[in-house]
Structures are given as structure tokens and as C-alpha cells.
Amino acid sequence: MQLRSSAFFDGSAIPRRFTCAGEDVSPPLHWTDAPEGTRSFVLLCDDPDAPAGIWRHWAAYDLPADRAALPEGAGRAGGEDSSKQALNDFGRSDYGGPCPPRGHGPHHYHFRLLALSIDHLPVRRNPSCRDVEREARKHLLAETILVGMYQR
């Protein structure tokens, strides 16, 4: 399974547009080669370089198995995309773009796609990104990662 973006390459800089210093919209993402038996996907974004530990920026879940992309801006709350989104560490149920402390150096943002063996995650109403990931791992078939970098 592979995850890509037309906005940046694996290991390269995330354009400002997709960060808190820009328009704070989620980047376009697309994936291929899901394993047989995939019934849904979860898309996660986190920053393992955050000073206090992993900072969870986004979780979109219950993405149907026939889906192979999220368009730019899909992570906006109340947007045209009907994806379910979890509560991130900013306290919002949408995409929160890269926003490292100024002068903290480069941070690595991990966009991770999880292929699952179930259609819908059995999570509580308004789950956190951590809740979504924890439950998704119980039904994991495959995982892929796309890493983007950003610093302020």
C-alpha cells in the first residue's frame, strides 16, 4: 500500500498553505494497492517531534474501501467531504496543520493510512485521534506512511 500527495514528496517540506502559518487546509492525499479484504481506511496525521510527545493533528475514519483519495481541504469541519473526523490535540474535530514552536527546528509530520478489516470503527461519539488509532489497530490489515517536514 502506498500513500502520496501531489503537494509534497515523502521526506520533503510541507508547503506553508497546509500549515497554521498558511491556510491550515489538509493536503490532497491519494493511495493505491490496498490489501485484499480492506473494508475501510483511517487517515492519521501526527508530530512525533512535539516537545511534550506525540501531537495528534488529524484523524479521518470510516473512509469506505472503494475510496482512494482525500482532496485538498477534506479535513475542514463542516466541509463538502463527509468523512468522520476525531478530536485532535488542538481540541477540534478537523485537520490542524503543522504548527511547531518557533525556533524548535524541523518537525516530521507523519501522515499514516491504515487499511482495516471492518467497515466502521466501534468508537464513542466524538472520539479523540488517540481513541480512533487505538481501535483501528485492533482491525489493522496494512499501514503506510508519508512524512512531510515543517519548521517555523
Can you tell me the mean pLDDT for 60-73? 96
Residue 64, in any domain of the structure: yes
Rounded to whole angstroms, how far apart are CA atoms 88 and 90?
Answer: 5
Examine residue 25 and state whether it is found in any structural domain, yes or no.
Answer: yes
Q: Write down the pLDDT at residue 77.
A: 76
Is position 143 within any domain? no
Per-residue pLDDT at 81 exceeds 70: no
Total structural domains in the chain? 1
Domain range for 48: 2-138
Residue 144 lies in a domain: no
Q: With a threshold of 0.75, does the pTM exceed it?
A: yes
The verdict on residue 86 lying in a domain is yes
Q: Mean pLDDT across the stretch 19-33?
A: 97
Query: Model confidence over 105-128: pLDDT tens digits?
Result: 999 999 999 999 999 999 999 999
Question: What's the pLDDT band for 83 if we cut at 50, 70, 90?
Answer: confident
**81 in any annotated domain:** yes
**Cα gap 24→18, rounded to integer Å:** 5
Residue 40 belongs to some domain of the structure: yes
Q: Is residue 152 part of a domain?
A: no
User: Tell me, what CATH number does 11's domain have?
Assistant: 3.90.280.10
